[in-house]
Amino acid sequence: MPIESTLPLRNWGSFVSRPDGLALKVVRDGQALLIGPPGDARLSRWALRAQGEALWLEAEDLQAAPPGDTHWLAALEAAFMHHPGHAHVQLGSTLPWPVPLLRSGTIVPGGEGRASVAREALWQIPRLWHALSADSCPLQYTLTQGRRHPRRAPKPSGTVYQRHIPWLDQTLSLRTIDIAQDLPLFHRWMNDPEVSRFWEEEGDLAKHRAYLEAIQADPRVTGLIGCFDGEPFGYFEVYWAKEDRIAPYYDVADFDRGWHALVGEARFRGKPFLTAWMPSISHHLFLDDCRTQRIVIEPRIDNQKMIHSLGRCGYAHLKAFDFPHKRAMLGMLLRERFFNEALWIPQP
């Protein structure tokens, strides 16, 4: 059964895809896709058409150089973006498929020189959205305050995730927080009554500088700034659950992740924005390490708006429990559910 979004796509004709961090402009012209670096006249051309329940993508103009795998990734992203209800795209060309996409399992060869790509597989390829994509950190164990856990990769710096949001026609990005640049913004957000009601971290600039310096020094957690088209709208903390205070409250696994969030700018608090940033946080964490199978969250039990939104974005409400500082609801999202049910598409 095709998945139908609750938010309409805008009549957009182009967006920028970023496979391997390379900006490629994708323009739709009828049933054709034109792909290339912005301002570059050398474009690859693709035919994209839906026939009943089948979605077809085919590279054209094969007399020129065959498109590279970055162009393939951009074309596949665009195909599923324009047709979000399709779970597979059929590749109608007899081209030699790009070896990296075959090895990763993104392209699955079929009979008669054809192949297909599953939406569920494509969305697990970090190269398209995860700017700092790398191999998983080798598995080694260490102890932190008596807790045994895998040694984590060094914390990132800069932009870690970017995705075009079709119902907003804007690009959502996540970047690591820069204290010198972001402290005034963070300070203002923490003193916003809507934020301080749940975070309870209101205070002066010195307090908030110390808060961010503590986050920066903590290897288990990373502070991120969320932006729409480069404009900051919120702050996120993503963490490894095994080393976190939540660990004693459930059967924590080595690569479970968790997160906290605040939306500091009031005009970004509506449903169209929430259905962009909440699945994107989940997507970022699943892409960050392929061994992460579960994401947890523990909103305060009286934050019913947040708990309801988490449910719409695929988080199961497992139980209420008592932290020393609050009564909370434990929510959990499974990797299999997120990708199998395409939970980046706003759900009814």
CB atoms within 10 A of CB 220: 18
Contact 6, 347 (CB under 8 A): yes
CA angle, corner 132, sides to 245 and 265, nearest 5? 65
Question: Euclidean distance between the first and final Cα of the chain, in Å?
Answer: 14
Measured over the CA atoms of residue 37, residue 80, residue 105 and residue 65, the dihedral's sign is negative
Contact 78, 26 (CB under 8 A): yes
The catalytic position among 53, 237, 298, 336 is 298
In three-state secondary structure terms, 224 is: strand
Q: 347: which DSSP letter?
A: P
Give the type of residue at 37.
P
CA separation, residue 139 to residues 132, 153, 245, 288 (Å)? 19, 10, 22, 15
CA separation, residue 96 to residues 42, 100, 148, 149 (Å)? 21, 12, 47, 43
List the beta bridge partners of residue 320.
329
Residue 249: φ, ψ to 5°: -95, 0
Cα 347 to chain centroid distance, Å, stands at: 16
> Helix 179-190 and helix 205-217: axis angle, to 10°?
120
Give the type of residue at 107.
I
HSE (CB half, 13 Å, CA atoms) of 97?
22
Q: Which tokens belong to 244? A: 């976190």
201 given a catalytic annotation: no
Contact 286, 340 (CB under 8 A): no
Give me the residue label for tokens 């995730």: 161
Q: Show which residues are catalytic.
A: 298
